[in-house]
Structure 1
Amino acid sequence: MGGIRSGTPLARFCPPSPFFRDNRLHVRRLPFVNACMRAFPGLLLLASGVLDAQGAVTFEAAYIQLDTSSDRPGGEYKNGRLIIHNHSLRSLVGAAYHVPNVNIQGPGWLDDVRFDISAKTEPAVTEEASRVMLQTLLSEQLKLEIHREEKVESAYSMVLAGGALKLHEAPSDAEKITNCSVMKRGELTCSSVSLESFAKFLGSFVGDGSAVRDGTGFKGQYEIHLTWTEGPSGPTLFEALQKQLGLKLQGRKLQIEYIVVDHVERVPLDR
């Protein structure tokens, strides 16, 4: 995976979704709609860290504090400092473990108690390493304990529709930062997005609550623009995927991963 450079603002990854009360991926500032910032992967935290005494990858310096404001959730990564503002624990867990919010189970207050994070970072790091650092931070300061479960469920596998993939790969010199936005209903734009992440994102739009997982096997980063009609006229999401992107959704029984929160503190520990 690629990294980012210091000075990159965080963006909003925001599909309107009936399933998520709060999950926002922020990578680059973009206009957004009121229903914005309910996307599957949560925060995409981009930071660099060090090893602590136990060998865990950590931020150079970081703290979590409660946020009782009514501010809009947001964040920024600039000049080696990561700021996350007013996000729920569900959102943070989703970011740390790269799962949709709907696949996180735990206490009823996961959506209600909100947090700020401030962390000192290095200029570049992979997304995978950033998730490990967030896991460490949540474990240390909120005593987060989780376990994973897999359930066989009716879901969709996103596969090739029979012809060639109708997507452009992201430029080789582009920042490898997933950047997706929903500017209006039925229009989605993503840049530098993997098909694994794109498939999970589509689960917010299929309409029946079913998960979507990538079945193409392609590992690149892509530029995607997709338009469809949610009403009775015009192409449906399923039709648009096939015609515009060369992809289709096949109903299947799939193993879907869940993150179960076994223990977590509502108030961060004293630093």
Structure 2
Amino acid sequence: MEVCGVNRMPTLRRANWVIAILALGLMPSMSQTPAAALKEAGPVGFDVAVIRPTAAGDVMGSSHFHIWSAPTDSHFKAQNVTAFALIRYAYEMPEFQVEGGPGWIRSKAFDVEARSDAALDEEFRKLPSAEARQRKLRMIQTLLAERFGLRVHQETRTEPVYALVVARGGPRFSASKADGTTVSNSQGAGGSTMTVKGSDHTLRILAEQLSRTMGRVVLDKTGLDGRFDLTLKWVPDDVTPSSPDAPGGPSLFTALQEQLGLQLKEEKDPVQVLVIDHIDPPSDN
């Protein structure tokens, strides 16, 4: 998952970034409930982990990174990933719900590869996928604590949010046939039009993408727990057509309803926030 900083963008401002996740297994959903209650049973750390700065060292305006994490083995791999992205991934938290930490955790990029022995791989293959994924998350949390000295705590705050709900008439998108085997999400600008396209996509992931665009937390309250193929196109409010004859397009609110059968409703809700108390650059391999 691409990760920007925690600075919130003005409402409906154009987002100049691309999200791309290629996961061999189900990506942890960006849930409103962080993975604080992961099972403690079984190994909670990797046997071997190598963390190196990327060749460029900095994200340098490129927010594109990859994470590979299958639920069928203990292998975890990430390329061009920030510490901030790793924290969000491990705790299943959207960027607007993670606070604190020095600036480098959002700008310094790393390549990470970690795994355990064949015996643990075999144990993972025997577990239900959901349980295996949760154990993998716990292992990544341990990696962050051991190699980055990460310490965090959680707070609950009541804040203005948008609730993503199903509009009258029902959803207008199809169930994915990939069944969690491949996740691919992208958002980018083409001319004056913004596009979000997701294959094997959860609505919680869509809610996080909308959070970046709206500059406010968007909570998935659709009640739809499946995985879907989605495409959403709209014209940001701050875009002026390049010429009088340039085609227009719907606003984000209109596009959500017309293209996906979804709505955003303003609410005040308890929001869980993960606060970074301490983090260091990664220790030597």
Q: Does the TM-score normalized on the shorter chain lie above 0.5? A: yes
The match for 2:209 among 189, 201, 222 is 201
SS at match of 2:200: strand
> C-alpha distance in 2, partners of 1:151/1:78?
31
C-alpha spacing 1:20/1:245, structure 2 compared with 1 (3 Å): same
Structure with more contact order per residue of length (Cα contacts < 8 Å, sep ≥ 6): 2
- How far has the Cα of 1:83 moved from its partner? 3.5
Match of 1:36 in 2: 17
Q: Which runs of 5 or more residues in structure 1 are unaligned? A: 1-12, 22-33, 48-52
The match for 2:231 among 225, 231, 254 is 225
Match of 1:111 in 2: 106
Match of 2:44 in 1: 57
Q: Which runs of 5 or more residues in structure 2 are unaligned? A: 10-14, 27-39, 241-247
The residue identity in structure 1 corresponding to 2:194 is G
> C-alpha distance in 2, partners of 1:105/1:15?
13
The match for 1:139 among 137, 145, 164 is 145
> C-alpha distance in 1, partners of 2:22/2:144?
14
Larger helix proportion, structure 1 or 2? 2
> C-alpha distance in 1, partners of 2:78/2:146?
17
TM-score, normalised by the number of residues in structure 1: 0.72
* Residues paired across the two proteins, number: 236
| 1:191-226 per-position Cα deviation (integer Å, ceiling 9, x unaligned) | 1112122212211122xx111011111111111011
SS at match of 1:204: helix
**What percentage of aligned pairs have identical amino acids?**
26
C-alpha spacing 1:44/1:60, structure 2 compared with 1 (3 Å): farther
- How far has the Cα of 1:100 moved from its partner? 1.9
1:131-210 alignment to 2 at 5 Å? 131-171=137-177, 173-184=178-189, 185-206=193-214, 209-210=215-216
Match of 2:56 in 1: 69
SS at match of 2:204: helix
> C-alpha distance in 2, partners of 1:262/1:106?
7
Match of 2:93 in 1: 99
* 1:167–1:222 Cα contact (<8 Å) kept: yes
The residue identity in structure 1 corresponding to 2:198 is C
* 2:166–2:261 Cα contact (<8 Å) kept: yes
- How far has the Cα of 1:112 moved from its partner? 3.8
C-alpha spacing 1:152/1:44, structure 2 compared with 1 (3 Å): farther
| CA RMSD across the alignment | 3.6
